[in-house]
Amino acid sequence: MRTLLFKTMLLFLVGYGYALTAQELPVSVPIDSTISLRELLDPNLQQKLEQTLNNNKQWKSLIFQKKMAVGIVDLKDIKHIRFARVNGNEMMYAASLPKIAVLLASIDAIDKGELKETPTIKHDMLMMISRSNNQATTRMIDRIGYDKIEAVLTSDRYNLYDKESGGGLWVGKRYAAGGATNREPLKNLSHAATVTQVCRFYYMLFQGKLVNKKRSAQMLEIMTDPSLHHKFVSTLDKIAPGVRLFRKSGSWSTYHSDSILVWGSPSRRYILVALVNDKNGEQIIRNLVIPIEKVLNE
């Protein structure tokens, strides 16, 4: 409760123009701003990622069946950012992870004056991400509408859902029973993601390029200090207590997903995204962190 109240206070400060940032974030990356994350694919990192994942027979089988996807972005040296992914454009049902798309569309609407930034709205956005509260998310979806969410995700500015690249982030159903739907056109999914597009979301966020730097800082504050300590966070709590985490996960039935921006010492700065369709998906995602950190630091 104290954490939630503290974060709510931070959101008020950000919302009213104070120079509040999440530690050193967002950062200005000293590389050509026209270079996309896809252009930062690193063959060496890609090879190490594939080898590490394939060394685990269960993971190798799931990857072959396109039931597991992993994406990583190495942020240790912001002058030499590296990206790698396996099944990067394989779109899967992602449960609550795509709530980050609702957050982006909501913040965009607030910044454009389409949605008033009231205390209730701020609280619902926080509950939607930190607690993954379905009722709060449904209220936000009802406030901004599917057309707004789709317009932001498919805009030339973000292109977080692209039919030519396997789709990506999508929210086309309320997190509640009933109501109209707006499912994505490729696989008819209601809540979807690809690891490449989620990595791109965090990559733009970490640079302050989602809406603008001030609003990116606000989104980072909403996403920091997650209340749910499972999957990636469960492992990071043990191996790196106190490290700054910005995160959204999701689970439904056999579908498990997690996404995180880890911002600690210079040797522990990265984006990690995983989508798994398996009954043991939660444990698989927990077990990914240590080998992925080894890949990033070899």
Q: Is residue 151 included in any domain, yes or no?
A: yes
Measure the CA–CA gap between 198 and 178, rounded to whole angstroms: 27
Number of domains in the chain: 1
Average pLDDT, integer, range 13-24: 44
Burial class from Cβ neighbours inside 10 Å (0-12, 13-18, 19+) for residue 283 reads middle
Q: Is residue 279 included in any domain, yes or no?
A: yes
Structure confidence by residue, pLDDT tens digits, 190-218: 999 999 999 999 999 999 999 999 999 99
Task: Determine the pLDDT at residue 33.
Answer: 64
Average pLDDT, integer, range 222-228: 86
CATH of residue 138: 3.40.710.10
CB 273 within 8 A of CB 71: yes
Task: Determine the pLDDT at residue 147.
Answer: 98
Task: Determine the pLDDT at residue 14.
Answer: 43
Q: Is residue 122 included in any domain, yes or no?
A: yes
Strands (E) across the chain are located at 68-74, 82-86, 92-93, 161-162, 167-168, 170-171, 191-193, 244-252, 255-263, 269-277
Q: Is residue 129 included in any domain, yes or no?
A: yes
Structure confidence by residue, pLDDT tens digits, 81-140: 999 999 999 999 999 999 999 999 999 999 999 999 999 999 999 999 999 999 999 999
Which pair of tokens denotes residue 62? 């799931």
Q: Is residue 34 included in any domain, yes or no?
A: no
Measure the CA–CA gap between 78 and 286, rounded to whole angstroms: 26
pLDDT at 7 over 60: no
CB 162 within 8 A of CB 169: no
Domain of residue 155: give its range: 2-27+40-173+183-297
Say whether pTM exceeds 0.85: yes
Q: Is residue 33 included in any domain, yes or no?
A: no
Structure confidence by residue, pLDDT tens digits, 27-82: 987 777 668 999 999 999 999 999 999 999 999 999 999 999 999 999 999 999 99
Q: Is residue 32 included in any domain, yes or no?
A: no
Average pLDDT, integer, range 156-160: 97
What percent of the chain is predicted at pLDDT more than 70?
Answer: 91
Q: Is residue 35 included in any domain, yes or no?
A: no
